[in-house]
Amino acid sequence: MIRATFVIARRDIIATILSRGFLVWLAMPVIGLAFAVFASIVGGPRAPATASQTVAVIDPAGDFAPWMQAVAARERTRNAYERLRTSNKDTGAFARPAALLTDAELDALAKREDIGAIAALGAQSFTAVSAEADPKAQAHRLLLARNSRFGAALVVMPDALLLFTGDKAPAAERIRTLAGLAWTKRALAAEGLAARVEAVRAAQPDVSVTVLDEGAAPAGRKGAPILATGAATVLFALISLLAGALLSNMVEEKSNKIIEVLVAAVPVPAIYAGKLIAMLAVSLIGVAVWGLLFGGGFMLAAAQLPAGLLPTPPRGWLELLALGLAYFTCAYLIYGAIYLGVGSLCSTIREVQTLSMPVTILQMVILISTLGALANPGGFWYEIVSWFPLSAAYMMLGRAAAGTELGVHLASIAWQLAFAALVIAFAARLFRYGVLRSGPPPSLRQLAGLKPKAV
C-alpha cells in the first residue's frame, strides 16, 4: 500500500508541477504584492512622505519652537525606551517605567545607540517659520500651497495654541499633546519651577503590579502573545489558501473516469494518502518559495530595524520554525483529508463550490476559538482548543510561540498525525459506499465496518 501511495503521489506531484497553472499559482502572491506596491505608488500621496511629517511652528514671540523640538525628541526617546523595555523588563537598564523618566534621564538615554535608532524611526520634525503679520493666514497659505512641505502648522499666540492640519496631516492629537507639554515646560521654566517638578517626578515610586493568574505569560514576555497570535493566524491563512484545493481533487479523477482504474489496482486509502501527500508536497514547495521571497525580504527589512524591536520566541526562532513546519503538515493532512473526503462525494465543481462556504465558516469558527483561547491562557477551554484536532495545529503553534515545552508538542504532533490517518480511513470507507456503490449513503453501522443487517 505504501508503494501504491507513492506511485499516486508521484504522478500527482509531476502533473501539478508541470501544469501551466503551477507557475501562475506560485507567482500569484508575488504578483499580488507587486500589484499592491504599484497601487500604493500610483494611488498614494503625491507629496514626499516626509512633508506630512513636518510641522511648521509659527511663533511671533520666537521662543516656542525650541521647546517643541526638545519635548518631541524626549517623547520619542521615551517611546523607544518603552518598546525596548517590553522585551527587556528584567534587565536593570530598563527597570524604571518610561512614564517616570526625567528629562535628564531621557537626554542620557537618547545617546544610546539602540534607543536612538528606534527614536529616529518616523520622527516628526518641527520647523520654526518666521511669523508674518497674519499668522493664521500664513498657516492657511503654507498648508494649501501646491507641493507644500508641511503636514501641519502650529500657530503660537500669547494665550493660545492653534493647530492647522492638511488632508495628509500627521496625527493631530499627538501634536496637540506635544504642544501642550512644551507649553507647560516653558511656563514652568518661566516660573523657575522646572527643576522642582523634575525632582518630584524623579522621586515618584514605581507601582508594583502582581498578576494573580496562573496561566499568564511570564513577566518580561509581553511580545509572546503577539507572536502567538501572529503564528496561529499565518498558519490559518496558509491552510485556508492551500488545503481548499483538495475539495475538488477527486472530482477531477471522477470526471476523467480514471477512478475505476485506480480503485481496481490499489486500496482506496492509498489513493487518498497519495493525493494528500502530493498536494502537501506541492504546497510545501509553494511555502518554501514564498518563504524565501517574503521571509528573505522580511529578514532584510528586519535587519534594518534596531535590535530588540521585534519580539523573540522564548525558545528561539529555529524551534518555532521547525514546529511551524510540523504543524503546517499536521493541519494540512487533517484538513486535506476532510476536504478530500467531502469533495469526493461531489460529482461536479458546482457541488464543490456549494460546499466551500460551510467549510469556510467552519474554519472561521476554529480561528476565532483559537485566538480567543490564546488570548486567555490556562483553564479548561485553553486545553480543549489545544487538543481538539481541528484547532490543535493552530493553537499549538501559538503555544510554541509563547514557549510551551517541546514534549507537549511532540505528543500533539503524534495525536494529530494519528487523527489524520483516522480521517483518511473514514473518508476512504465513505468513498467506497458513497461513490462506488452509487446508492444511498451508508449507515453508521456500515461506516463502522460492521456487516449490514439482513434485509
Partner 1 sequence: MNYAIEAEALSKRFGEKQAVAGVDLSVPKGAIYGFLGQNGAGKTTTLRMLLGILEPDGGTRRLLGSDRPLSVAARVGYLPEERGLYPAMTAREAIAYVGALRGMKLGEARVRADELLAAHGLGHEANARIRTFSKGMAQKVQLLATFVNRPDLIVLDEPFSGLDPVNQQDLENMIRAERARGATILFSTHVMAHAERMCDGLVIIAHGRTRFSGSVDEARAHLPSRVVLVTEHPLSELQAMLPPGSTVDIAPGPGNRYRFPLPPGGIEPLLACLLETGSGIRDMHIERPTLHDAFVAIVGEADARVETREAA
| Site residues for partner 1 per CB under 8 A | 3-4, 7-8, 11, 15, 18-19, 256-267, 432, 436-440, 452, 455
Position 307: which residue type?
A: A
Closest CA to 73 of 108, 98, 100, 107: 107
Helix (H, G, I), strand (E, B) or coil at 54: strand
- For 266, left (φ over 0), alpha (ψ -120 to 50), or beta? beta
Q: Which is nearer to partner 1, 16 or 416 (CB)?
A: 16
- For 18, left (φ over 0), alpha (ψ -120 to 50), or beta? alpha
Q: How far, CA to CA in Å, does 305 sit from each of 53, 125, 230, 386?
A: 20, 20, 19, 34
The H-or-E segment that residue 412 falls in is helix 406-431
Whether residue 394 contacts residue 229, with contact meaning beta carbons closer than 8 Å, is answered with no
Q: Which is nearer to partner 1, 130 or 256 (CB)?
A: 256
Q: What's the min distance (Å) between Cβ of 219 and partner 1?
A: 58
**What is residue 164's DSSP assignment?**
E
Q: Which is nearer to partner 1, 274 or 311 (CB)?
A: 274
**And the C-alpha cell for 227?**
507572536
Q: Which is nearer to partner 1, 300 or 455 (CB)?
A: 455
Q: Which is nearer to partner 1, 21 or 192 (CB)?
A: 21
Q: Which is nearer to partner 1, 147 or 256 (CB)?
A: 256
Sign (positive or negative) of CA dihedral 164, 166, 167, 169: negative
Partners of 163 in beta bridges: 154
- For 220, left (φ over 0), alpha (ψ -120 to 50), or beta? left
Q: Which is nearer to partner 1, 181 or 266 (CB)?
A: 266
Q: What's the min distance (Å) between Cβ of 265 and partner 1?
A: 4
Q: What's the min distance (Å) between Cβ of 432 and partner 1?
A: 8
The H-or-E segment that residue 251 falls in is helix 249-255
Long-range contact pairs involving 47-51 (C-beta distance under 8 Å, separation at least 24): 47/147, 47/148, 47/149, 47/168, 48/149, 50/149, 51/148, 51/149, 51/150, 51/151, 51/168
**What is residue 245's DSSP assignment?**
G
Q: What's the min distance (Å) between Cβ of 261 and partner 1?
A: 6
Q: What's the min distance (Å) between Cβ of 11 and partner 1?
A: 6
Q: What's the min distance (Å) between Cβ of 253 and partner 1?
A: 8
Q: Which is nearer to partner 1, 287 or 435 (CB)?
A: 435
Q: What's the min distance (Å) between Cβ of 448 and partner 1?
A: 15
Give the C-alpha separation, 426 to 431, whole Å.
9
Q: What's the min distance (Å) between Cβ of 5 and partner 1?
A: 11
Q: Which is nearer to partner 1, 146 or 257 (CB)?
A: 257
Position 19: which residue type?
A: S
Q: Which is nearer to partner 1, 211 or 264 (CB)?
A: 264
Q: What's the min distance (Å) between Cβ of 275 and partner 1?
A: 13
The burial of 356, by beta-carbon neighbours within 10 Å (0-12 exposed, 13-18 middle, 19 or more buried), is given as middle
Whether residue 81 contacts residue 107, with contact meaning beta carbons closer than 8 Å, is answered with no
Q: What's the min distance (Å) between Cβ of 222 and partner 1?
A: 53
Q: Which is nearer to partner 1, 205 or 439 (CB)?
A: 439
Distance, CA of 27 to chain centre: 21
Radius of gyration of the CA atoms of the chain, in A: 30
Give the C-alpha separation, 55 to 72, whole Å.
11
Q: What's the min distance (Å) between Cβ of 29 and partner 1?
A: 25
